[in-house]
Chains A and B, each alone.
Chain A
Amino acid sequence: MEVFLQQLINGVTLGSIYGLIAIGYTMVFGIIGMVNFAHGDVFMVSAFVALIAFLLLTAWAGISSIPVALLIVLAVAMFFTSLVNWVIERVAYRPLRGSFRLAPLISAIGMSIFLSNFVQVTQGPRNKSIPPMVQGEIVLYRHNHYPVTLSYKQLVIWVVTAALLACFWYLVAKTKLGRAQRACEQDQKMAALVGVDVDRTISMTFVIAAALAAVAGTMYLMYYGVVSFSDGFVPGVKAFTAAVLGGIGSLPGAVVGGLLIGLIETFWSAYFSIDYKDVAAFSVLAITLIFLPQGLFGRPDVEKV
């Protein structure tokens, strides 16, 4: 029971990170029907930006208040990652819009290779670790000397994720941009006819996706305290799994899928085998796609002749 509760807490934390990345996949897929392969690497880039911003703030600017530092790091990471993703969309995907379907996929794979190698070349191949940003924990419950704890950093992740998701929900559901996005998702030509700037809307989708990935990247860095250039691929694929599990194109689905993948992974590691935890995630991906291709919240894909 104690182990179960503890793993539940850990799983939800991991799941929040996956959920934030998964939103980026699902939004981009929803609006231009492409699997943005580079999204995992955008997430990794954001973690590096956060690392550099954190070092700048603590070592150079001498800010000692952790909440302030964390907020600034978050803002800096979101800004630069959005810029990166905006440029990527302009350079690598926009010229291929309306072209044949494999072209953007290959372009995205190329971008993914480029980004991870760019970070490797500019920042070196070693793992980068930082001193813990947030320490301490709350003991929720103790039984037979086995405490169930909720560390402050997990709490921070929960709070930040919940707050950002609320902002994001407001953006998509209530603002003009969100309405334009939903319109483009349904029918780009029609949206253009009623005066929606489709190009700008797609650009903004990439910016929002990157901003959420940057939140995930910052949280990832804070939680694990270490990041390397190759950290984009596996979380990326898992977040994609989450998006598929929740039903690709569905925003609540991405969050629920993220939480489920996080939970599946932590419980699998705790009860079965930690070596095969990635196999668990990949198997979930394959099983979902084969038996439930529309995911939990997605619309079924009907083909008309």
Chain B
Amino acid sequence: MSAVGRESEHPHAPRGPARPVLPAPARSRLASAVRDSAVTAALAFGLFLPLIGFETVTNIRNEVTLQTRWPLLFAITAAMGFGRMFYTLTLEPAIRRRALRAAGAPSAWRARAGRLFVPSAIAFIILYPAVVLLLTGASGALKWIDNFGIQILIYVMLGWGLNIVVGLAGLLDLGYVAFYAVGAYSYALLAKTFGLAFWILLPLAGILASFWGILLGFPVLRLRGDYLAIVTLAFGEIIRIVIVNWVDLTNGYAGIGGIPRPTFFGIPFSADDDGFAAVFGLEFSPLHRTIFLYYIILALALLTAYVTVRLRRLPVGRAWEALREDEIACRSLGINTTNTKLTAFAMGAMFAGFAGSFFAARQGFISPESFTFIESATILSIVVLGGMGSQIGVAIAAVVMIGGTEIMRELDFLKDVFGQTFDPTQYRMLLFGFAMVVIMVVRPRGLISTREPSVFLHERKTISAELVKEGRG
């Protein structure tokens, strides 16, 4: 019997907030809160004793020595203990009360808000650069448009691309960044070697990436679930290692610099006389290019979303979702599962290729560092955290996860709280990993827990995500 199959055959009762609620006298609740917090504090002390209690410091003679950090250790232990007590006394009863209130049909107000959400969100992101310019002025806007706008939109696009593979076709891909890398390197190498323009290379990069998607898709057709995830991870790493070691072509770790930037219908964004600013009679500002790039990636991301929405209504899109729901039934009905899987891989890879070539054009410099496994994990987690198959969910997850980690760079006021040596940016990935765990534990089905089936009988309605299968790869 398959190990994976067993889970679905014997579902355990869900734990946590769904437990039957027994009214407990306040006295015993306090006692149990004290006991819980003591246990938590003891565990925290044990957990953090080696790694926080002691710090390994390399001294001048390059020897590693130990220093103690008892105050920090005790502070963290105490914080965990009191945090636990706070949770047991205040949050837990609140969560239970909420669980008791039966989750009925969503209210009319919510439904209306849901309908208005997408158009207003799109309107907001189209107006975003203008809003930022108004609020922060030209000097601050660059950071907000580039670090937040463009960065988040790249991940939204990648998330939507991977959503085709994972969310629609149910194929778990942990090596998605490989196609992003193929796109980026295709653009960088072809643009530098042959001097081709961004708009010619963009489709070319997409085609090359989807070619690789098919190439890597072939061997994994028979694999399912976790195995598929691991093999795609291996392929992703192999591509990265080849990029690192094939120095003649890719320049290895040093990366490729001086990649040509996109032009505005042939007009470069430079300070020269024939540059964008001069032609349009504006004062030169790096903002012009940033805003232009912002709209390119916005258009690309919206294209991805639009194509996905349309594809879901085509036979191939329906075949993807059928494949996710039940591969055997799919085959029995005469759907060619090989072609269905390969088209999903190719489509997903193509959008990654677009995003990759945009990334190379935006940065002007690429190196293998940008295409590590962590990127794949980030993109997959955006798809799963958002709610697989839900495009709005993926976009929200990208904003939360990427925007959240980017905002860590801006929290300089924390230095006043924790002292000048405190560097919030260090904690970005730490919190990122932590957030992944927390969101999964709280909402295993992702942030958006409803889906809209593309095929329906009589009337269109949303259904719970629980009813959608996740596919077995």
Picked from A51, A94, A114, A286, the residue with its CB within 8 Å of the CB of B56 is A51
Q: Look across to chain A and name the residue whose beta carbon is closest to the beta carbon of B69.
A: A122
Check if A55 sits within 8 Å of B65, measured CB to CB. yes
Tell whether B132 is near chain A: CB-to-CB under 8 Å: no
Q: Which residues of A contact B197 (CB under 8 A)?
A: none
A50-99 with Cβ < 8 A to chain B? 51-53, 55-56, 59-60, 76, 80, 83-84, 87, 91-92, 94-99
Tell whether A249 is near chain B: CB-to-CB under 8 Å: yes
Q: Which residues of A contact B63 (CB under 8 A)?
A: 131
A290-B12 in contact given A49-B50, A80-B49, A96-B444 (Cβ < 8 Å):
no
A46 to chain B, nearest CB (A): 10
Tell whether A107 is near chain B: CB-to-CB under 8 Å: yes
Tell whether A113 is near chain B: CB-to-CB under 8 Å: yes
Q: Which residues of B contact A45 (CB under 8 A)?
A: 51
A242 to chain B, nearest CB (A): 12
Tell whether B421 is near chain A: CB-to-CB under 8 Å: no
Tell whether B271 is near chain A: CB-to-CB under 8 Å: no
A289-B231 in contact given A109-B436, A188-B6 (Cβ < 8 Å):
yes
Q: Look across to chain B and name the residue whose beta carbon is closest to the beta carbon of A282.
A: B234
Check if B231 sits within 8 Å of A109, measured CB to CB. no
Check if A290 sits within 8 Å of B433, measured CB to CB. no
Q: How large is the interface on A (under 10, 10 to 19, 20 to 34, 35 or more residues)?
A: 35 or more
Check if B440 sits within 8 Å of A107, measured CB to CB. yes
Q: Look across to chain B and name the residue whose beta carbon is closest to the beta carbon of A114.
A: B433
A237-B433 in contact given A35-B229, A109-B377 (Cβ < 8 Å):
no
Count CB-based A-B contacts (< 8 Å). Answer: 218
Q: Which residues of B contact A95 (CB under 8 A)?
A: 15-16, 441
A106-B436 in contact given A33-B7, A276-B241 (Cβ < 8 Å):
yes
Cα–Cα distance between A303 and B326 once the two chains are bound (Å): 12
Q: Which residues of B contact A233 (CB under 8 A)?
A: 373
Question: Chain B, 437-466, contact with A by CB distance < 8 Å: what is the 0/1 string?
Answer: 100110011000000000000000000000
A206 to chain B, nearest CB (A): 14
Question: Chain B, 217-257, contact with A by CB distance < 8 Å: what is the 0/1 string?
Answer: 00110110111011101110110011011000000000000
A115-158 with Cβ < 8 A to chain B? 115, 117-124, 126, 128-131
Tell whether A29 is near chain B: CB-to-CB under 8 Å: yes
Cα–Cα distance between A87 and B47 once the two chains are bound (Å): 9
Where chain A touches its partner, the secondary structure class is helix
A285-B231 in contact given A114-B434, A237-B237 (Cβ < 8 Å):
yes
Check if B65 sits within 8 Å of A59, measured CB to CB. yes
Q: How large is the interface on B (under 10, 10 to 19, 20 to 34, 35 or more residues)?
A: 35 or more
Tell whether A178 is near chain B: CB-to-CB under 8 Å: no
Q: Which residues of A contact B3 (CB under 8 A)?
A: 29-30, 33, 248-249
Cα–Cα distance between A14 and B130 once the two chains are bound (Å): 58
B230 to chain A, nearest CB (A): 7
Cα–Cα distance between A255 and B434 once the two chains are bound (Å): 32
Q: Which residues of B contact A165 (CB under 8 A)?
A: none
Cα–Cα distance between A237 and B377 once the two chains are bound (Å): 14
B271 to chain A, nearest CB (A): 38
Check if B14 sits within 8 Å of A99, measured CB to CB. yes
Question: Chain A, 1-35, contact with B by CB distance < 8 Å: what is the 0/1 string?
Answer: 00000000000000000000000000001101111
Q: Which residues of A contact B14 (CB under 8 A)?
A: 98-99
Q: Which residues of A contact B245 (CB under 8 A)?
A: 275-276
Check if B238 sits within 8 Å of A117, measured CB to CB. no
Check if A279 sits within 8 Å of B238, measured CB to CB. yes
Check if B436 sits within 8 Å of A52, measured CB to CB. no
Tell whether A175 is near chain B: CB-to-CB under 8 Å: no
Q: Which residues of B contact A241 (CB under 8 A)?
A: 234
A interface vs B, CB < 8 Å?
Answer: 29-30, 32-35, 45, 48-49, 51-53, 55-56, 59-60, 76, 80, 83-84, 87, 91-92, 94-107, 109-115, 117-124, 126, 128-131, 187-189, 233, 237, 240-241, 244, 248-249, 275-276, 278-279, 282-283, 285-286, 289-290, 293, 301-305
Question: Which 9 A-B residue pairings sit nearest by Cβ, starting from the closest?
Answer: A110-B436, A113-B433, A114-B433, A98-B12, A33-B3, A103-B444, A282-B234, A117-B430, A110-B437
* 29 examples of A-B residue contacts, CB within 8 angstroms: A33-B7, A48-B50, A48-B56, A51-B64, A52-B51, A52-B66, A55-B65, A59-B66, A80-B47, A80-B49, A83-B43, A91-B441, A96-B444, A100-B470, A101-B225, A102-B384, A105-B172, A107-B440, A109-B433, A110-B434, A112-B433, A114-B433, A124-B58, A129-B62, A278-B241, A285-B231, A286-B219, A286-B235, A293-B227
